[in-house]
Structure 1
Amino acid sequence: MYLTQSLHRALQQEPDRIATIFGDRVRTVAESVDRIARLGGALRSLGVQAGDRVAFLGLNSDRYHEYLFAVPWIGGVVNPVNIRWSPAEIAYSLTDSGTRVLLVDEAFAKIVPALRDQVEHLQIAIFAGEGEVPDTAFGYEDLIAGSEAVEDTRTGGDALLGLFYTGGTTGHPKGVMVSHDNLVTSGLGSLATGQVVTHGGRILHAAPMFHMADIAMWTIGNLAGSTHVIIPTFTSAATLNAISEHHITDALLVPTMIQMLVDDPSGADIDLTSVEHFVYGASPISEALLDGARALFPTARFTQAYGMTELSPITTLLAPSDHDDPALTRATGRAVAHAEVRIVDPEGNEVPRGTIGEVVARGDHVMRGYWNKPEATADAVRDGWMHTGDGGYMDDRGYVFVVDRLKDMIITGGENVYSVEVENALAEHPAVAGCAVIGVPDTRWGERVHAVVVVHPGEKASPDGLREHCRERIASYKVPRSIEFVDALPMSGAGKILKRELRTPHWENTRVPG
């Protein structure tokens, strides 16, 4: 399998179908493929050879779509850069990957000189934004206009498609090596469920396109003959307007984004009935939020996707019908067709149903490994099984329930506390808009359960009141012994709470127990 195959099929069968919509720019399949082939020719003229890494640092755009196809078109390797990283983190990923060519838009062009100083291999910058082209960069549109279209190399199979750097919440980020087979397998297996996109529909790209979650949705859309409607970045207003204006059928968002849509009062005055599929991930959706989202999007079916970059990324899906089963409120779904999932003990032995262990997965969607990190690869992938680091259990029907990152488990007074369970209890309090539970040092208990809470505007909550609320739902040793209130929780580009940032002030001068 090769990523660009879907382009050739689309060009053969429906060349006049709209491929991308970005602002006022609307391009057909034929126009898009021609530009992709010309961009491939331009990159080749700049010296990009098979296997070379080409990075993109920018907001969502139709040019991002073209980049994701043009680089593999000539046998290159995409390296989408996390736009939320600091310049030092960006420089690390470019250096580690040996990236020579960087595409950048107007939002990030100003840091290119500093990146050139820090990244030895970085030789060429291409300005893929709007407005005047900087003197130090080639112009994206100039390159396409001045280049001949080249033939697709049809690189595929186990060949490296992309380096997708993990968030780097612990130490330096790792480059996840994803092959063509990895990504297309995940896309086909997910598409086969019929729970993700509408064939021939319109997909909204509001989540960041550098992230594997959105790239997975993009891949599935290409296989399904979708039109890609792209907005630069997520805001509730832009997202609601795009859904209404372009009659969006499918979207990928994280629950925090869905909450912002539900909370936006303008949604009540907009026609949102075109939406058929909402795919979400990063965390389960609360019952209250699901009710609010269903009221706002009455025609939509909600599907939860679970996985990780190393799994390209989809491994389980919680189907729309599963969302009506009270027993599955906290489930992440069942294995998709391309994946095998188990729950294992530290020795790799499968544990009985209902027993907490580590979630592992196997299949052709498992990454090739970590770039230049053979030891980390050997630790993560053992006998073909990707060890996710997530603690969870499986019920008798094969549904997976993720309870926590194993490293996030809190050991207090000899008892294991999974923070997700405490967070679920807190989230049921009507005043709580968001929360995160971590372990912090405690002279008596080793660690104590500590909650960081965001309260809805206009609502009030007290530590004692929240603790009493939790005692009605969970064991006393799981109830937070300390609670702090903040205006917002630190979030990653994927919409996940960065617990490491919450822990650091508590642990930076303290030895971790054990």
Structure 2
Amino acid sequence: MDGTTPHFHSHVEEILDVLAKEPAREALVHGDRRIGAGELRGLVYAMARALRSQGIGRGHTVTLLSGNLPETLAARYAAGLLGCAVNHLYGGLSADVHADILRDVETRALIADPAHHERAADLARRVPLDRVLVLGGGTGTGVDLPALAAGASTEPLQGEARPQDICTIRHTGGTTGHPKAICTTFGQCASIGPRWPQEEPVRTLVCTTLAHAGGLMADTTLLGGGTVVLLDGFEAGAVLDAVERERVTHMFLLPPLLYQLMDHPRIDRADTSSLRVLTYGGCASSPARLAAAVRRFGPVLTQFYGQNEAGGISLLTPEDHDPRRPELLRTAGKPMEGVEVAVLDPGGRHLPAGEHGEICVRSPHVMKGYWKQPELTAEVLRDGWLHTGDIGYVDADGYITIVDRLKDMIVVVGGHVYTVELEDVLNSHPQVLQSAVLGVPDANLMERVHAVVVRTPGGDVGEEELRALVRERKGAMYEPARIAFVDALPLTDAGKPDKKLLRSRALPPTGAA
């Protein structure tokens, strides 16, 4: 950068500027630790210098394998300040998948927290890495980054990122195959999500992984001058305790986690009156359970529909969460400001309101592309549109309804079964808490509709009753060939129903239906 080029101010520098305004303000809460804004800001600058002393700089990829710790956020911001691309792994993936991802994105440095030091040591043996750093000493796995930072200056350091540099590399959850690396630039991250009105201080609870939407919530909160309360993971009782104790105002949950919260024995006694925004999204939700959540929490629910590839797409606002209008609760709301949505057929023709097709998006937040996969990028980014792979429609009022993932849509004799529509029917039964629908091939490799159902405590609804409900509501084509009952649906590390695992369980050893 020459002297005539103005300095690019990244979102990391914006967050650091906000932290500087009120250094004594509480910025992070983690267990018994309460970290002030000035302390967090100083830690970021010190960690940036520590990383630079290890040969890490602009254009390098830094991979995080770490939980919801204050040091995780500090390390992420420090790497961003240096202009590094940050790749944050889901902790629950296998060692083989972790190793594949590290190779894919050409990781220069792996930063792990002490809880993951064994996996970090294993990965260091599998993958050539320049540096392994640990967010706390005593493991013998790598360089202790906080200890290294303790000897570094906490004075401000000018950021080195450029708008076109890759800021984040996010991977798909791997539920439909090998994870894909999705690249977003620092320029695109310059406006990192909605800025909430500041009538009162924002206190955001992050109880899902910082590698997913929880990280965006933390960034947005700190940028707005709020406080982030970190839990190590989701446990419904601990979430209710934290909301009550910390007077939490904002929170993000995936729908299955929202249901667990609603089903906790203490839900009716917990004080959740501080909640102003309860955002949910990431997978399909049950209108019946959303209506119950509105009745319990009040008009605070906001549905966020988005993708790593596309960024934010649409919102269903609290005003639209009206239990008396269940048809709205089946939608994903209306497009966000600055986002264009079109429904296209396989030939690229724009479909009119009400017709089913692929949801396609144009916005400033659409990904730059998949990491070093130009052919795959060209498949998804066509004619200026990001093809989401979601099947749905837009109604005459502009509300988007998602009926399936293109890859999850089940092709049966006579037509297509949209899994979300069938899940809605099953979830409407008073003795069904949750369901997942998937296609399972039979001995002739024909797709058969398979449903996995979680009953309410004490519920005894059986296969025949649920099949009759489906026949009545959707017709024989939607009737499941098999319904299995389980105590709980397995979830991916991001908190979504793990249909890949369910599909593998549904396949008998012979491959027969």
Q: What TM-score comes out, normalization by structure 1 length?
A: 0.92
- 1:84 matches 2:92: yes
Distance 1:32 1:186 in 2: 19
Q: Which residue of 1 aligns with 2:65?
A: 57
Matches within 5 A, 1:242-281: 242-281=242-281
- 1:161 matches 2:160: no
Q: Which residue of 1 aligns with 2:305?
A: 306
The verdict on how the C-alpha distance between 1:89 and 1:382 changes in structure 2, with shifts beyond 3 A counting, is: same
Letter of the structure 2 residue corresponding to residue 183 of structure 1: C
The verdict on how the C-alpha distance between 1:511 and 1:354 changes in structure 2, with shifts beyond 3 A counting, is: farther
Q: CA deviation at 1:138?
A: 1.7
The verdict on how the C-alpha distance between 1:198 and 1:397 changes in structure 2, with shifts beyond 3 A counting, is: farther
Gaps of 5+ in 1: none
The verdict on how the C-alpha distance between 1:474 and 1:52 changes in structure 2, with shifts beyond 3 A counting, is: same
Q: Are 1:410 and 1:416, in contact at CA under 8 Å, matched by a contact in 2?
A: yes
Q: Are 2:287 and 2:330, in contact at CA under 8 Å, matched by a contact in 1?
A: no
Q: Which residue of 1 aligns with 2:146?
A: 141
Q: Are 1:6 and 1:223, in contact at CA under 8 Å, matched by a contact in 2?
A: yes
Letter of the structure 2 residue corresponding to residue 503 of structure 1: R
Distance 1:114 1:19 in 2: 34
Matches within 5 A, 1:450-465: 450-465=450-465
Q: CA deviation at 1:243?
A: 0.8
Q: Which residue of 2 aligns with 1:201?
A: 202
The verdict on how the C-alpha distance between 1:155 and 1:510 changes in structure 2, with shifts beyond 3 A counting, is: farther
Q: Which residue of 2 aligns with 1:127?
A: 134
Distance 1:28 1:412 in 2: 58
Q: CA deviation at 1:449?
A: 1.9
Letter of the structure 2 residue corresponding to residue 381 of structure 1: L
Pick which of 72-81 and 499-508 moved more. 499-508
Matches within 5 A, 1:347-386: 347-386=347-386
SS across alignment from 1:136: coil
Aligned to 1:3, which of 5, 11, 17?
11
Matches within 5 A, 1:403-418: 403-418=403-418
Distance 2:180 2:286 in 1: 31
Letter of the structure 1 residue corresponding to residue 319 of structure 2: S
The verdict on how the C-alpha distance between 1:466 and 1:424 changes in structure 2, with shifts beyond 3 A counting, is: same
Distance 1:216 1:4 in 2: 12
Q: CA deviation at 1:284?
A: 4.5
Distance 2:376 2:511 in 1: 24
Distance 2:510 2:105 in 1: 34
Q: Are 2:288 and 2:427, in contact at CA under 8 Å, matched by a contact in 1?
A: no
Letter of the structure 2 residue corresponding to residue 439 of structure 1: G
Q: What do the CA deviations read for 1:330-379 (whole angstroms, capped 9, x no partner)?
A: 10111111311111111222101100000011111001111111111111
Distance 1:47 1:260 in 2: 45
Q: CA deviation at 1:54?
A: 1.2
- 1:70 matches 2:78: yes
Q: Which residue of 1 aligns with 2:6?
A: none
Q: Which residue of 2 aligns with 1:34?
A: 42
Q: Which residue of 1 aligns with 2:467?
A: 467
Instruction: State the Cα RMSD in Å.
Output: 2.3
Distance 1:12 1:57 in 2: 28
Give the fraction of aligned pairs with identical amino acids, expressed as a percent: 36
Aligned to 1:116, which of 119, 124, 144?
124
SS across alignment from 2:407: helix
Aligned to 1:191, which of 172, 195, 206?
195
Q: CA deviation at 1:275?
A: 0.6
Distance 2:508 2:11 in 1: 44
Q: Are 2:15 and 2:219, in contact at CA under 8 Å, matched by a contact in 1?
A: no
Pick which of 402-411 and 265-274 moved more. 265-274
Q: Which residue of 1 aligns with 2:315?
A: 317
Matches within 5 A, 1:396-407: 396-407=396-407
Q: CA deviation at 1:506?
A: 5.6
Q: CA deviation at 1:302?
A: 0.4
Q: Which residue of 1 aligns with 2:501?
A: 501
Matches within 5 A, 1:389-400: 389-400=389-400
Aligned residues between the structures? 501
Letter of the structure 1 residue corresponding to residue 230 of structure 2: I
Q: What TM-score comes out, normalization by structure 2 length?
A: 0.92
Q: What do the CA deviations read for 1:216-249 (whole angstroms, capped 9, x no partner)?
A: 2223223322211111111112111111111100
- 1:172 matches 2:152: no
Q: Which residue of 2 aligns with 1:388?
A: 388
Q: What do the CA deviations read for 1:435-486 (whole angstroms, capped 9, x no partner)?
A: 1112233579933322122222321121111111222321221121321222
Letter of the structure 2 residue corresponding to residue 123 of structure 1: D
Q: Which residue of 2 aligns with 1:210?
A: 211
SS across alignment from 2:397: coil
Gaps of 5+ in 2: 1-8
Q: Are 2:20 and 2:37, in contact at CA under 8 Å, matched by a contact in 1?
A: no
Distance 1:461 1:14 in 2: 57
